[in-house]
A and B are shown apart, each in its own frame.
Chain A
Amino acid sequence: MEQDINITITDRDGVKHQVLAPTDMAMNLMEVVRSYELAPEGTIGVCGGMAMCASCQCYVLSETTLPDMQDDEEAMLSEAFNVKDNSRLGCQIQMTLEMEGLEVELAPES
């Protein structure tokens, strides 16, 4: 489908998954991970996507341009663990056509 983009997600066991993510269903990266069940239920998206738990933290591996971080995402990441310079919260990244080729790795569960 032309509204779908290809993204690569490395799960918490280090396994790479190439998946198709719809851009027309208002889905964010955390929801894409859940829809493909790449992390067990209850270990990702715990707060439902309000940038309030950091269970969807991921490391962005590609040079893809992503939307700027809002205050709540930045604040949450400042309290999360295992944070790196390329950390983002998956729930704050809405899938758009411009993200074709995005590569991310899920941060460890904490």
Chain B
Amino acid sequence: MITTDILIIGAGPTGLFTVFEAGLLKLKCHLIDALPQPGGQCSEIYPKKPIYDIPAYPEILAGDLTHKLLEQCKQFEPGFTLGERAETIEKQDDGSFIVTTNKGTKHQAPVVAIAGGLGSFEPRKPILENITNFEDKGVEYIIKDPEFYRDKKVVIAGGGDSALDWSIFLADVAASVTLVHRRSEFRGHLDSVEKVQELKNVGKINLITPAEITAINGVENVESVEVTKKDEAPFILETDHFIPLFGLSPKLGPIGDWGLEIEKNAIKVDNALDYQTNIPGIFAIGDVNTYPGKLKLILCGFHEATLMCQAAYKIINPGKRYVLKYTTVSGVDGFDGTRKEAPKAVVKAID
């Protein structure tokens, strides 16, 4: 059991800034995120794109914002459960919550802050009627362990970076790699595209474009797929695995079943006070919440996180006094023993 003061669901910018604000109040945080790395959308969807409305940054790349937020909060030693999706929440008799992930990892905290953005990222599944029957029986949407494909026949579909990168990687692992894409142009990094071209030329990647997978065949497991090239008759291609890599799309997912009041695919909160949900002790901050006048902006998430932490302090330390402190005056004392503070003014007499 992982225990902490504030359990944050979602390691995007709002979740990461929560760690800093909580740390100033001597509250410890642990974050759960379905993605394998922190940063949320900023690192998954658009790390190389600029953002222009982060206060004091005329321009910052989304990936750099993530790095700076991690740097800013690191002395408060946040814990991470990455690559796992928060699945269930159970309220305990002492008022705390136990959140369990899809992999069974349990976390306990008196305060839960949902900073889940648009939800957890789920793979986009191609529209093939029997595809769900073959999930984990030869159809995988995410490659977890490349060794799994050693000496197997693999068909990858998609035209983005992950389709290109995995085709390149698996070319040395699998018995054969076929890459199928609906058109001949790919939208990956130029060096990935060139590498695939190279591997195609030496016969290590079988490239079929413009084409689509139009059927999956097999009794229990995937045995073959039907490939249809544009304006040509379909043909059958024997394979052990079919890996569609069409990107990820966010879904509110299991959080939608936690008994929280939902409106417009978002969690309703009390914006007059502290962004608490209809369940006391559970807060929702950032893009995942809604209230009259809500704006889905990173900068609004930072504000919401800050107010939420004050409310969390009161829940965790009932009746204990606290006044707002300025970091310039008080400095920042990390849980790792570090201290940041403003340099003292020099006092020296003038003759």
Contact = CB atoms under 8 A, between A and B. Distances in A.
Interface of A: 40-43, 46-47, 50, 52-53, 55, 71-72, 74-76, 78-79, 81-82, 110
B266 A42 contact: yes
B159 A81 contact: no
Contacts of B46: 47, 50, 52
Nearest to A42: B265
16 contacts: A41-B264, A41-B265, A41-B290, A42-B250, A42-B264, A42-B265, A46-B250, A50-B45, A55-B249, A71-B187, A75-B159, A75-B186, A78-B181, A79-B187, A79-B247, A82-B127
Given A47-B46, A50-B46, A78-B182, A110 B124 contact: yes
A33 to B, nearest CB: 14
A78 B183 contact: yes
A110 B127 contact: yes
Given A79-B246, A82-B127, A41 B266 contact: yes
Majority secondary structure, B binding face? loop
A50 B252 CA distance: 21
A42 B187 contact: no
Interface string B135-160: 00000000000000000000000111
B45 A52 contact: yes
B203 interface: no
B118 interface: yes
Contact of B185 (A42, A53, A75, A110): A75
A78 B121 CA distance: 20
Contacts of B36: none
B189 interface: no
B118 A81 contact: no
Contacts of B119: 42
Contacts of B183: 74, 78
Contacts of B187: 71-72, 75-76, 79
Contacts of A55: 249
Contact of A42 (B158, B160, B252): B252
B126 interface: yes
A40 B266 CA distance: 10
B265 A81 contact: no
A101 B249 CA distance: 32
Contacts of B124: 81, 110
Contacts of B247: 53, 79
